[in-house]
Each structure stands twice: as C-alpha cells, then as structure tokens.
Chain A
Amino acid sequence: MAEVVVKDLVKRFGTETLAVDNVSFTVGEGEFVTLLGPSGCGKTTTLRCIAGLETPDEGDILIADEVFTSSHNGVCLPPEKRRLGMVFQSYAIWPHMSVSENVAYGIQAQGASRAEVNEKVANALELVGLSGLGERNATKLSGGQQQRVSLARALAYNPRVLLFDEPLSNLDAKLRERMRVELANLIKELKLTAIYVTHDQAEAMVMSDRIIVMKDGRIQQEGDPHSTYNEPSNSFVADFIGVTNILEGKAGERENGKGLWVEVPSLESKILCAKGIERDIPAGSDLLVTVRPEYIELGEDGSSDENVLRGQVSDAVYLGQSWDCLVQSGNFELRVHVRGDADIRAGQSVTMNISPSRCVVLSD
C-alpha cells in the first residue's frame, strides 16, 4: 500500500510562473525518496505542498489514504493537521527555547502528558546523539548539533512521514558526508517514510531508495540510484547526475539482441547502444547518446568488435585514484576517466572500448 500519493500536482506563482507542472508520484511505506534537481525546479514547492505550507492550484495529495489536499472537493488540510515531520535547511531552531523545549514542542501540541513528553524528548535526543544537551540554549550549539535538534524535533512525535528540505546544505563538507550516512541509517532503522529534497546528486545517491529528478516543475526521471545513474532518460538527467559525454547521432539499424547502431558523425564512427532503445526509434532519426567517462576503457586494438574508437589524449589531470582525461577522437573531445595506476601522457595515442550496455540512447 502506498503511503504518500501525489497526483497531478500544479502550483502557480502569480499568473505566469508554473512552479510545479503536473507532478505525480507515490512514496511507499518505509521508502526514502529524494526529489533532486537544480534550484527552481519545483522540488521544494512540491515538498511544501505536501507539508501544507503551500496550497496547490490543482491536484491531490493523499497520505495513508487520507486526503490532505484535493482540488476536486477543495480540501486543504492545514499543516498542523497532517502529522508530518519536517527538517528545514535553516534548521528553524527556535532561539527562545532550550533544546528540550524545541524537541518537546510537537509532542506537547498533541496534548501528551508531562511524563510522556519527557520520555519522548529523551528518546528523540538519544536517537540523534544529543543526550544530556537538553537544557542547552539551542542557538549556542554548532551547526551540526542544531540540525540534530531539528531532526529530533521532527522525529519526536512519531510523524507519519518525514520531510527534509535540503537539511545538510548548511553544513561543511566533511560533516555533511558523515550526516548523510547517519541520517539514512537512522531513517531505515526507524522504518520511516521520508521525502528528501536536495540539489546535491551525491547526497541523493547515497541516501535514497528512489530518486525523482525534476526540472522546470516536471519530473524528468524516477528510479533507484543505480538506474538513474546508469540509464538516464534524457540529457538533462545524464548531465545533472555525474559527469558524462553526450554525443549527437543518427539512428541506424537494430541488431537483434545486441542493440541499436548509432551513426555519430563527430566521432566519424558508429556506436552500438544497448540501453534506452526499448522505444520505437525510426532509422535515420536524430538522437543523443550518453556515455559516462569511467565506462570508456583504454585498451589494445582489436580487443573488442564493437565500439572501438581511436584518439589522442589532449589533456590529462591526475586526481590520485584516477586520471581525468580529454581524448580527441574525430572532431569530438571525449571525457575519459582512467584508473590512477595507468600511464597516461598528453599527446599519447589511445584506443578506447565502450561496452554497448554502457551506451544509453536518450529520450530527447
């Protein structure tokens, strides 16, 4: 049974701007779903609509079969009636309250007894590793600790769904990386349903069960991190997540069981693509192919039948665990990542192999 259902959501700002344009998705119980996209893509607006902080212009939002928002009968539950938890980018810690008071707020709002409040606050603080800091002034804590308070506050009253609005982006890089893992583990451990908004693709990769990539108010792709990375559906997704090469080409013939041949004029070559070809692609139509740099292997001539390209290393930057190279092949400069122990020099002639399963035909 789906926990969260968002259906045909539309939100306009003013008369012109379409912030969210017909967005539909579901989030299963205990699932961690991330809305990923650049700023202005509508991910935060979608989240705020779920929270009840924005009223959508059209569409329905249901959680556990309860209608939160429905444009059909004009229902729009106020945020306090939704029993959700939310963690904000700015932490939104109330500076006039202590840590405990911050955490206790939501529990008290439910009318819990004093003992119950104390117990739940202690539990929540223990969960986020802040036991013993309850009487501190919340604003005197470090950024990481404040974010933990904010999380404890959202967890404390057993919300049905946890919402995260870029919660880690105010932390420094090291802390952010640690918190990612910690947060994801905690959510899993507690078997919570979570919707997480971020513009950081690495964060999305590490934490999510499923990623929904958005752009200009529309969903671009939906899937687990692996498929999102390896089989991007369009050039935006391919480009936004990770580093990639995007090649312009013309559809050739299909080779049964192997894939689709694509004529790539800039490489003065043909490439066999095994992914993204499920749809009907008429021969001769223009299309785009993406190949991740790390899937391009340098090898010997003749080690493979398909997708062998020759070129010359025009630039190579050593990154320790790998080389980040640009290889001139035909009229195209391919980005290629090579293991750090390889021997690479600029000017060197190389032969490249690309497995057809790594060549993805994009939908645009």
Chain B
Amino acid sequence: MSSVSKSELEARGDGASPVASASTPGGRFFNSENSLKLGSLGLLTILAILPVSVFLYSAFVTHPEAGDSIFTFTNFTKNFSTSEVFDASLNTLIIALGTSIFSCLTGVSLAWFHARTDMPFRRPLEALTLIPFFLSSFLGAVAWWALAAPRTGILNRWMIDLFGLSAPPFNIYSMTGIVMVMALFYTPYMYLFTIGSLNRMDPALEESARVCGTGVLRTALRVTIPLSTPAMLSGAVIIFVVSMGVFGVPSLLGPIARISTLSTIIYTKMEEYPLDIGGAAALGSVLMVFTALGLYIQRKIIAPRSYVTVTGKGYRPSRVSLGPWKYVALAINCFYVLLAVILPLGALLLASFNRAWLGGFRWSQLSIYNWAYVLFEYEYAIQATKNSLILGLVGGFITVVLCTFLAMVILRGRNKRLSGAVDYLSTLPIGVPGLIMGMAFLITWIKTPLYGFPMLLLMMAYMTRYLPYGLRTISSVLQSLSSELEESARICGSSFVATIKKITVPLLRPGIFAAYLMLFIMFIRELPVSVLLATEDSAPMAVALYILQENEALGVVAAFALVQTALLLLGTIVFRKLGSMEELSV
C-alpha cells in the first residue's frame, strides 16, 4: 500500500482514475459508467436545467421582459406581501393536499383491488379505471360543470326532481368541487404509480401475516400498504406538486366562490400584458421549492425503505381472497368509474349530440352537427391528429430510450453521488407548471436555430416535462430486478452494452412499454407548452381542441374531446397488443 499515494486513492474512490483510462481503455468498470453519468447530466442540463434556470433568473432581475438585468428581490417582496397571494397560497395548499390525499386513497385502494385481490371483473374495470387519464382535468371540470353546477347541473336537477329538494345538493363551484374533480382525474396517476410495486410483491409477505391471524383488511393495512409506501408516498408527493401547478380546474370552478390559486395568479402574470415574468418566476419558484423539498423527503425518508422484491426466482403472486368483501371492492371501483368516467364522459357524449347545451340533454336540440363538424369540416383536425401521432410516437420513443438509459444510470450506478444528482435533475421538471415550462423553453431556445423546427422544440419540451413520469415507471421495474441478473451476464463474458441489450432491456420490456404508452398519452394531451410553441403546421390535437374551446359551443368541444379519448383508447389497446402487456402498468 505504501506505493500508492493518498491522492491517488482518493481519485480512485471517485472511480475515475486517469491512470486507469490510460492503461486499459474503457477497461476500468467505473470509467465508462462515470462518463455515461456525466453525459446524462449534461443532457439533462440542456433539456431541463438550462431553460428552468434561465426562467428562474428572471425572478431576480427588475424588468426581465425588457432585458434589464439589475439584481433585485422585489419580485419576491412585491408578490409575497399581498394578501391576494397569501390567500391564493393557502387555497393552493388546500387544493394540492386534498387532491393528493384523495387521489392517494382512491388510487391505492383501486390498485390494491386490481393487483392483489380476487375482486371480480378486474380486466374490463381496469381499462375503465384508467380512462380519466386520457382526458385533461380541465375537460373533466367542464364535464362536471355540466353535471353539478348549482342551478343547471344535470345531477342537481335530477335530485331536485326525484326527491323534491328545495336546494340543489351539489355545488361544483367550491373547494370541495375543485378538489373532487382534481382527485378524480389524478387517481389514475396514483393507480399507475403503485400498481407496479403491488404486482411485484412477494405474496409470502402477506401470507405470513395472514397466518399470524390478522384479517384481510388488517393485512392490507399493516403489511401490503406499508410495503408499498415508498411507491405510494413518492406518487403522493408528485401529485401534490403537480396539482399545485394545475390551472384549468381552479380557473373554471374557482371564481364563483372567489377562490384564486397561485396557478391562476401565475397565469395572469404570464398571459396579460404587460407580462410580469419576474413575478411569475418568483411565484413559480415556490412550486419548485416544494418539489425539491418533496424529492428530498422522498430520498431521505422514503427511498431507503424501498425493498427489492423480485429476484431471479420468478413467481406469480397469488391473490388475497376477499370473500364477500370482494363485492364491496367491486362497488367502490364501480363508484369511482361512475364518478370519473361514466358521468363526465356521459355528459360530454350527451352534449356532443345537442346543438346547444341548455343545461341538460334536449331532444329538441338533437343534432349530429358537432360530430359532422369535428370529423369532416374542422380544418385543423387531420393535420393536428397527424402531428400528435408523430409527437406521441416518435417523441415518446426517444423519451423512453432516454428514460431507460437514465434509470440504468441512477439505479445501477456505483457512484451514488452522481446517481443522486441525475435523479434530482431528472425529477425537478415535475415542479415546473406547463405554462412556465413553455415560457422557459421559448426564452431559452428562441435564439438558436432550433426555434425554426417547432416539432423538434415541442418534442424536447414534452420530453423534459414528462421525463420524470417515464423514468418513474421504468425505474420501478428496474428496481425490482435484482442486479445479480445483470452481474451474472457480465461474469459470463458479455460486455456492459451487450448485457443491456440482451438482459436488461428484455427484462424491462413491460416497464418500457408501459412508460411508452404513458408518455404517448401525456404527449397527446399536453397543452400549455404546445399552445405557446406550436406553429400552424405543427399544432397538435390539444391545440386544435383549445382553438375549438375558444371559438365553438360545448358540443363541438365535447365531440372532439371524445374523438381524442377514443384515439388514446385505441392507442392503448394497440400498445398492449404489441407489448403483450397483461396490465397497463407492470
């Protein structure tokens, strides 16, 4: 040991010894790995960190829109001292907390029913349970407005007619209404976040608890749920952060009850002239701080408790027999499907067959005009569908490749510090509301030739925005694969790259397909970035829908939304067939 100096040792501790690379090119196990990591850090920096920091920078200068660059804190002091912002922050917190709690409760219960129990009709119900994922929460809010607006909501009228109530029982214009709509539409996220880990859980863990004499419910609460806590909590953190940035629902349902949120204020600052980019950035940074905090909590408290549950043994988990309770589970799932799918989609379907929506389906208004318009007359429809498919399929594919790569870097790396950095950087975009992400991309890329290729720019922006979701899906599968599966291939004489090709990717296939599908759906739904960056030729479906929303009556919007939902459903079916996936998630 005497011949090795201390500094040399330290250099090796980080794995990148210059001597090593010189004497055995690429030979040192660490070397290629570390350069891969640095490469992915660089890529992430370009994709996510660069635009976000360019944007955040404007929070600290006086008049960013005028290119003024005097350092200042006024954007913060000015914006955080008003009672409007205080109230809005409070509302935002309540909404985000409510949304994450309720979607967590529903999503986890539903995931448990589907993954671990013998609830009947699981297969058809799963597809139905995930349909809300195809719609934006804004459309959900429009549909629920049609259902539960105090005076004109279909449900309210029915209840009044049926039970002779004096006042309408539901009021969608309320905190409850906002939280309900958001929770309904974020439940599928939670479902997708947890079902993977529930599917992969060793049934022996549950069985041993049952043997110890605890009942089904207690077992679920004491063993199953705690075991999937890491997946659950990190899902809840994500939903909390994302729902803080959601603008559509509160902007529609909030004003009547005088509820404003941070997102509606940010919207104002970004959408009304003179633009207050500095103010928007200052407020937006709050969301990013929450994200960073959430991630920190997740990494410090939650992540160390994740368990590798699948080894090379391979088994099929058995299911918990619920006895008569399975009908309760069925009832709960059906109730969710009723609230999140049948009622809102039904309302949209009814609206799409009425020329004008007079607060309920009217035979006198029966018309196929909306459908005829959307299918045959709408100039944007075909081009936009084509653009969306290109963005979803090509962009989704590139993103999924990147996600797979990043997941490997994060989970299979030996240099934990670098892995951690990659993990942080790739998750941070979740805390950036779409409106801000769009602006950040615009500011960053407008000066480059890339601005001349809007489809490419859109793809990059989508990639950045939804990278964390794809990454989550893939890394949850990778996490559950024992690294011995790859190590044994290395020892058998196959190189790093060959191992990825022959062992890792085939084993990850279900996760990769699930991520691809998830990204495909999200790409097609994305609005705030698209509406800012897309040009006439590159406008995707979401923008086409937005233009209808501004210029046409509800029925047309409803018809187009249903077309989009049908397309996504079709896409899901095709994906499942191709990926021979048994469930949407793995």
Given contact pairs A93-B314, A94-B503, A95-B314, A157 touches B496 in the complex (Cβ within 8 A): no
Residues of A within 8 A of B17 (CB): 74
Contact partner of B13 (CB less than 8 A), chosen from A8, A57, A106, is A57
Cβ-defined contact, A78 with B507, below 8 A: no
Q: Which of B27-35, B133-141, B176-184 contacts A (4 or more CB under 8 A)?
A: B27-35
Residues of A within 8 A of B3 (CB): 72
Distance in angstroms between the alpha carbons of A203 and B506 in the assembled complex: 36
Provide the B481-494 mask, 1 if CB < 8 A to any CB of A, else 0: 01011011111111
Q: Which of A83-91, A187-195, A277-285 contacts B (4 or more CB under 8 A)?
A: A83-91
Residues of B within 8 A of A91 (CB): 311-313
Residues of B within 8 A of A90 (CB): 311-313, 482, 484
Contact partner of A92 (CB less than 8 A), chosen from B24, B487, B509, is B487
Q: B528 an interface residue at 8 Å Cβ cutoff?
A: no
Q: B23 an interface residue at 8 Å Cβ cutoff?
A: yes
Cβ-defined contact, A72 with B28, below 8 A: no
Residues of A within 8 A of B314 (CB): 93, 95, 138-139
Cβ-defined contact, B29 with A93, below 8 A: no
Q: A80 an interface residue at 8 Å Cβ cutoff?
A: yes
Cβ-defined contact, A12 with B503, below 8 A: no
Distance in angstroms between the alpha carbons of A268 and B239 in the assembled complex: 72
Cβ-defined contact, A78 with B492, below 8 A: no
Q: A304 an interface residue at 8 Å Cβ cutoff?
A: no
Provide the B132-151 mask, 1 if CB < 8 A to any CB of A, else 0: 00000000000000000000
Provide the B158-184 mask, 1 if CB < 8 A to any CB of A, else 0: 000000000000000000000000000
Cβ-defined contact, A55 with B29, below 8 A: yes
Provide the A39-64 mask, 1 if CB < 8 A to any CB of B, else 0: 00000000000011111011100000
Q: A178 an interface residue at 8 Å Cβ cutoff?
A: no
Residues of B within 8 A of A106 (CB): 492-494
Q: A82 an interface residue at 8 Å Cβ cutoff?
A: yes
Q: B205 an interface residue at 8 Å Cβ cutoff?
A: no
B303-353, CB < 8 A from A:
311-315
CB distance from A224 to the nearest CB of B (A): 28
Nearest opposing residue in chain B for A95, CB measure: B314
Contact partner of B493 (CB less than 8 A), chosen from A58, A80, A146, is A80
Given contact pairs A74-B19, A86-B488, A90-B311, A80 touches B495 in the complex (Cβ within 8 A): yes
B10-24, CB < 8 A from A:
12-13, 15, 17, 19-20, 23-24
Contact partner of A105 (CB less than 8 A), chosen from B27, B482, B492, B506, is B492
B496-538, CB < 8 A from A:
496, 498, 502-503, 506-507, 509
Number of contacting residues on B, CB 8 A?
A: 41
Distance in angstroms between the alpha carbons of A292 and B494 in the assembled complex: 49
CB distance from B309 to the nearest CB of A (A): 12
Cβ-defined contact, B9 with A83, below 8 A: no
Residues of A within 8 A of B24 (CB): 75-77
Cβ-defined contact, A58 with B506, below 8 A: no
Residues of A within 8 A of B578 (CB): none
Q: B211 an interface residue at 8 Å Cβ cutoff?
A: no
B374-426, CB < 8 A from A:
414
Q: A110 an interface residue at 8 Å Cβ cutoff?
A: yes
Residues of A within 8 A of B20 (CB): 74-76
Distance in angstroms between the alpha carbons of A138 and B315 in the assembled complex: 11
Residues of B within 8 A of A215 (CB): none
Cβ-defined contact, B484 with A74, below 8 A: no
Q: A79 an interface residue at 8 Å Cβ cutoff?
A: yes
Contact partner of B27 (CB less than 8 A), chosen from A51, A75, A139, is A75
CB distance from B543 to the nearest CB of A (A): 41
The winner among B29, B30, B312, B491 for most chain A CB atoms within 10 A is B491
Contact partner of A109 (CB less than 8 A), chosen from B30, B493, B506, is B493
Q: A96 an interface residue at 8 Å Cβ cutoff?
A: yes
Q: A153 an interface residue at 8 Å Cβ cutoff?
A: yes
Cβ-defined contact, A139 with B19, below 8 A: no
Number of contacting residues on A, CB 8 A?
A: 50
Q: A73 an interface residue at 8 Å Cβ cutoff?
A: yes
Cβ-defined contact, A84 with B494, below 8 A: no
Nearest opposing residue in chain A for B488, CB measure: A92
Q: B66 an interface residue at 8 Å Cβ cutoff?
A: no
Residues of B within 8 A of A58 (CB): 1, 4, 9
Given contact pairs A55-B30, A94-B312, A79 touches B12 in the complex (Cβ within 8 A): no
Distance in angstroms between the alpha carbons of A80 and B487 in the assembled complex: 9
Distance in angstroms between the alpha carbons of A84 and B507 in the assembled complex: 24
Cβ-defined contact, A79 with B29, below 8 A: yes
Distance in angstroms between the alpha carbons of A105 and B29 in the assembled complex: 21
Q: A71 an interface residue at 8 Å Cβ cutoff?
A: yes
Contact partner of B12 (CB less than 8 A), chosen from A71, A89, A139, is A71
Q: A30 an interface residue at 8 Å Cβ cutoff?
A: no
Q: A134 an interface residue at 8 Å Cβ cutoff?
A: no
Given contact pairs A52-B29, A58-B1, A78 touches B490 in the complex (Cβ within 8 A): yes
CB distance from A61 to the nearest CB of B (A): 13
Cβ-defined contact, A76 with B487, below 8 A: no
Cβ-defined contact, B484 with A76, below 8 A: no
Nearest opposing residue in chain B for A163, CB measure: B491
Q: A174 an interface residue at 8 Å Cβ cutoff?
A: no
A92-144, CB < 8 A from B:
92-96, 105-106, 109-110, 138-139, 143
Residues of A within 8 A of B502 (CB): 105
CB distance from A348 to the nearest CB of B (A): 42
Contact partner of B491 (CB less than 8 A), chosen from A79, A89, A138, is A79
Nearest opposing residue in chain B for A77, CB measure: B27
Residues of A within 8 A of B488 (CB): 86, 88, 92, 150, 153
Cβ-defined contact, B13 with A93, below 8 A: no
Residues of A within 8 A of B315 (CB): 139
Residues of A within 8 A of B496 (CB): 78
Distance in angstroms between the alpha carbons of A92 and B27 in the assembled complex: 25
Residues of B within 8 A of A82 (CB): 491
Residues of A within 8 A of B494 (CB): 80, 105-106, 109
Residues of B within 8 A of A150 (CB): 488
Nearest opposing residue in chain A for B24, CB measure: A75
Distance in angstroms between the alpha carbons of A73 and B23 in the assembled complex: 8
Provide the B241-281 mask, 1 if CB < 8 A to any CB of A, else 0: 00000000000000000000000000000000000000000
CB distance from A167 to the nearest CB of B (A): 11
Given contact pairs A58-B1, A95-B312, A74 touches B12 in the complex (Cβ within 8 A): yes
Residues of A within 8 A of B15 (CB): 55
Given contact pairs A88-B312, A90-B312, A94-B503, A76 touches B27 in the complex (Cβ within 8 A): yes
Cβ-defined contact, A57 with B9, below 8 A: yes
Cβ-defined contact, A74 with B23, below 8 A: yes
CB distance from A132 to the nearest CB of B (A): 21
CB distance from B498 to the nearest CB of A (A): 7
Given contact pairs A57-B9, A94-B507, A75 touches B490 in the complex (Cβ within 8 A): no
Residues of A within 8 A of B485 (CB): 92, 94
Cβ-defined contact, B495 with A85, below 8 A: no
Distance in angstroms between the alpha carbons of A79 and B488 in the assembled complex: 9
Distance in angstroms between the alpha carbons of A335 and B121 in the assembled complex: 63
Nearest opposing residue in chain A for B4, CB measure: A71
CB distance from A87 to the nearest CB of B (A): 8
20 A/B residue pairs, CB under 8 Å, sorted by A: A52-B29, A58-B1, A74-B17, A74-B20, A74-B28, A79-B490, A79-B491, A85-B491, A91-B312, A91-B313, A92-B311, A92-B482, A92-B488, A94-B312, A94-B503, A95-B507, A96-B509, A106-B492, A146-B312, A170-B313
Which A residues form the contact surface with B (CB < 8 A)? 8, 10, 12, 51-55, 57-59, 71-86, 88-96, 105-106, 109-110, 138-139, 143, 146, 150, 153-154, 157, 163, 170
10 further A-B pairs in the complex, CB-CB below 8 A; given A58-B4, A72-B3, A93-B314: A55-B15, A72-B4, A86-B487, A88-B312, A90-B482, A92-B487, A92-B488, A93-B313, A94-B503, A109-B494
Which B residues form the contact surface with A (CB < 8 A)? 1, 3-4, 9, 12-13, 15, 17, 19-20, 23-24, 27-30, 311-315, 414, 482, 484-485, 487-496, 498, 502-503, 506-507, 509
- Which 6 pairs show the lowest CB-CB distances between chains A and B? A139-B314, A106-B492, A74-B19, A90-B311, A109-B493, A92-B484
